Amino acid sequence: MIAIIDYDAGNIRSVENALNSLGIENVVTSDPAVIRAADRVILPGVGAFGDAMKKLEDRGLTEVIREAAAEKPFLGICLGLQLLFDSSEEAPGVKGLSVLPGEIVRIPEGGGRKIPHIGWNDLSFPKESELFRGVAEGSYVYFVHS
């Protein structure tokens, strides 16, 4: 079973609907016991880094997320991935979950890049990676990020 962490800052229904359409058992939860019992965990997210960390702390979810990320397959989506790092330029002084070392930084402007970057782009892979197994070079994907 996959636990989708609900902390009132995520695109919960999109993730739940995707898993349901694939016939994958899942539960939307903010209960640490349910998260600990899950085989896999997803931390979705939409919004601001500082606000999201406060919501995780207020719900007592920071430690169980650290545990789950260390012990089982764990996927952070969008802001959910960013929260796994030490910090973010977006919220100076706010500590992240520190599951992954590093700071989330804004993509630098210039060089013909428009920020935020929104639109369809093709993919190219500078090296082989399991992450992209089955994805064709040149595939088009939609990006919304800065």
**Structural domains of the chain ordered from first start:** 2-105 (3.40.50.880), 106-146 (no CATH)
Cα-to-chain-centroid distance, residue 22: 20
pLDDT in tens, 60-92: 999 999 999 999 999 999 999 999 999 999 999
Q: What is the pLDDT of residues 108-144, one digit of tens each?
A: 877 777 788 788 988 888 888 777 788 888 888 887 7
* Cα-based distances in Å from 1 to 6, 39, 94, 97: 15, 5, 32, 23
CA distance 49 to 55: 10
Q: What is the pTM of this model?
A: 0.82
Count other C-beta atoms under 10 Å from residue 129's C-beta. Answer: 9
